[in-house]
Structure 1
Amino acid sequence: MEITVLVENLAYKQGTKGEHGLSILIKVNNKNILFDTGQSGLLVENAKAMNIDLSAIDMVVISHGHYDHTGGLEAFFEINKNAPVYLKPQAFEEKMSLTTGKPRYIGLDKKVIKKYASRFKTINETKEIAPGLTIVTQINSYYPFEKGSSNMIVEKGGQQFKDPFDDELFMVYEEGESLTVFTGCAHRGIANICRTAIDVSGGKKIKSVLGGTHLKNASHERIVQTLKTLETFDIDNYGLCHCTGLQAFMQFSQQYKDKVKYAHVGTHF
């Protein structure tokens, strides 16, 4: 398996740029899978800079329906005419953020949904999309301290509710007895996601975790709780980025030392 970060908040590779978003290219068993598309057409620019042919992508998986993970879809569709986009149906719901004091739309671009409706393939159950690579759609809630963001809401039937992130999914790659977990933002909790991955696989060990953990702005105590829980899984290495936040990244690094790497644009695993 080959993994390349195409879009992320930080970019150090010459010729690339960063933005608040995430997109990861996964090559496995002769399949090219794009996990999220970032916030804008920067996905296309960075792919060109890294000599990556987006027209060769076989499928796209969307971790959840926020703009910083879906905003590159239109630019991608203009290049790639065939790859299906897998996502949960709840990703199409009206999503808002209250971080600025009033509701701000942060969901999927409605024009893109309408224009490219045939490209979207909704899923509600676990689905293997390549040998060993599986989309997991149900994230179980094991740990009470992992609660969703109170400043993110979803609108249904004209009413607004705290977003339960029912649209969130993650991917897991099984290689022998080890697992690699891919997460977009982990709104439902990175420990919940890792525990779910272990359960879904029948108890296999997590080798790697790659993606966002949504611990930015989390309290020191919350991060410590997360680290204590993850410690029980004995994870070999982490490629953290995007919404993890500097404080959380530093605490991970202090505890796990060289097991932790920042997955900026251009990082290759």
Structure 2
Amino acid sequence: MSCQFELTVICDNHAGKGLLTEHGLSLHIRADGLTILFDTGSAETLLHNVAELGVDLTQISHLILSHGHYDHTGGVAQVLAANTYCQIIAHPFVFSERYSRHADRPVKRICMPDNVRAALQLLSPERLHCSSGVSLLSDNIGITGSVPRTHLFEDTGGPFYLDEAGQFSDLLPDDQALWINTPQGLVIILGCCHSGVVNTVEYIRQLNDGAGIAGIIGGLHLLHASSERLKQTISYLKKLKPQFIYAGHCTGDDVIVMLRENLRDTAVGQFHAGMHIGTGESASLTGNI
């Protein structure tokens, strides 16, 4: 059993004509009779872009939060204001206080905005589902929960901490991904993939009896990756041979070029707000690459 899917990029660092850019990610997905919003961006562009794209937030059946950073959860309150019934799925750690401490910039608070935390905490347990384990939305759609970190060359992708002073590292245990079982194989949807591409893909394959991977869509968080990590990631993807990779947000534009140059058996594209991807009649797997 499998299903078709259609995906539209709502928020990203790049955008098509008439749409706005932000440092954030939000993806609108239709699959297996469900209408899913995967992340909400930072709240800067969500409402403008959904209006331009004709996306109706009142029709969302499920809101999935890939992790608790502001650039993926900032628009949650806007979604909840428009939609009073959608199911929200998140990891319990998503509410944590969090900071980034880059040597060349001031310390930045990067957790879920306070208004979003407050709005979510008002919801009943029947609507807000917090779990660290695997969640199945249908026979063909699943969410990983916490991803085991078995490939140690993959780190979280940045200097992330649970406190402003930088004493307690944030390993982002709430990082999770979504998969869709399509006729071509599994399609994996990533937020920032702080668990690492190899860790995430291999865990999803394990959960699906070693199924083949048709494609990967989302942020790969390789912008600040070491040369060794990039080398090992590319080596893995070469062996995996997915049909396509659509990367954006935190991946790094130069890294996307590197992936395109090295993965000759895979169609590699950079996505942007307004791009349509999928297996349905109104979207194409490789037409926008």
Q: Same fold (TM over 0.5)?
A: yes
Q: Deviations over 1:146-173 (max 9, x none)?
A: 01245111249x9841111101110111
8 A Cα contact 2:244 2:268, kept in partner:
yes
- Change in Cα spacing, 1:15 to 1:164, as seen in structure 2 (3 Å) is same
User: 1:176-191 to 2 correspondence within 5 Å?
Assistant: 176=183, 178-191=185-198
Q: Deviations over 1:107-144 (max 9, x none)?
A: 11223222342053211211111330101113122322
SS of aligned partner of 1:223: helix
User: Does residue 60 of the first structure (1) align with residue 63 of the second (2)?
Assistant: yes
- Change in Cα spacing, 1:18 to 1:150, as seen in structure 2 (3 Å) is closer
CA RMSD in angstroms, aligned pairs only: 1.9
Aligned residues: 267
> Normalising to structure 1: TM-score of the pair?
0.93
Residue 179 of structure 2: which of 169, 172, 182 is its match? 172
Q: Distance in 2 between matches of 1:241 and 1:94?
A: 25
> Normalising to structure 2: TM-score of the pair?
0.87
Q: Which has the higher helix share?
A: 1
Q: Distance in 2 between matches of 1:109 and 1:15?
A: 27
Q: Deviations over 1:209-245 (max 9, x none)?
A: 0000000122333212210022222211101000000
Q: Distance in 1 between matches of 2:201 and 2:32?
A: 23
SS of aligned partner of 1:244: coil
User: Does residue 236 of the first structure (1) align with residue 243 of the second (2)?
Assistant: yes
- Uncovered stretches (5+) of structure 1, i.e. residues with no partner: none
Residue 110 of structure 1: which of 92, 109, 114 is its match? 114
- Change in Cα spacing, 1:53 to 1:150, as seen in structure 2 (3 Å) is closer
1:252 CA drift (Å): 0.5
Q: Distance in 2 between matches of 1:136 and 1:195?
A: 11
1:177 CA drift (Å): 7.0
User: 1:214-225 to 2 correspondence within 5 Å?
Assistant: 214-225=221-232
AA of the residue aligned to 2:260: S
Q: Which has the higher strand share?
A: 1
- Change in Cα spacing, 1:254 to 1:79, as seen in structure 2 (3 Å) is same
Comparing 105-114 with 183-192, greater Cα deviation is found at: 105-114
User: 1:1-269 to 2 correspondence within 5 Å?
Assistant: 1-12=5-16, 14-99=17-102, 101-117=105-121, 118=123, 120-155=128-163, 160-176=167-183, 178-257=185-264, 259-269=267-277
8 A Cα contact 2:100 2:158, kept in partner:
no
SS of aligned partner of 1:243: coil
8 A Cα contact 1:135 1:172, kept in partner:
yes
1:84 CA drift (Å): 2.1
SS of aligned partner of 2:162: strand
Segments of 4+ moved more than 3 angstroms = 100-103
- Uncovered stretches (5+) of structure 2, i.e. residues with no partner: 278-289
